[in-house]
Amino acid sequence: MRVVVRHVRRGTYVLDVRPGTKISELLLSLRINPLEVVTLINGRVVPKEEPINEETEIVVQPITRGA
């Protein structure tokens, strides 16, 4: 199944994943720490433990930290 990952800072990745793969597993495969980003599907924030069961586009937004 094809998934497009659009990382705001790193660019776009197109990946083939198994149905049921968790978003956190996908992020780790791209060496992205799931604790440092927010994930969105169709403009909706989704939990990183949510399984991916259809072809989709995931937007990855780094969490901004203040000083």
Low-confidence spans in the chain with pLDDT less than 70: 66-67
The number of residues making up the chain comes to: 67
What is d(CA 35, CA 42) in angstroms, rounded to the nearest whole number? 21
Domains of the chain: residue spans and CATH: 2-62 (3.10.20.30)
Q: Which residues pair with 39 in a beta bridge?
A: 60
Regarding pTM above 0.75, the answer is yes
Q: What is the pLDDT of residue 67?
A: 63
Nearest residue to 41 via CA among 15, 19, 60: 60
Q: What is the pLDDT of residue 31?
A: 96
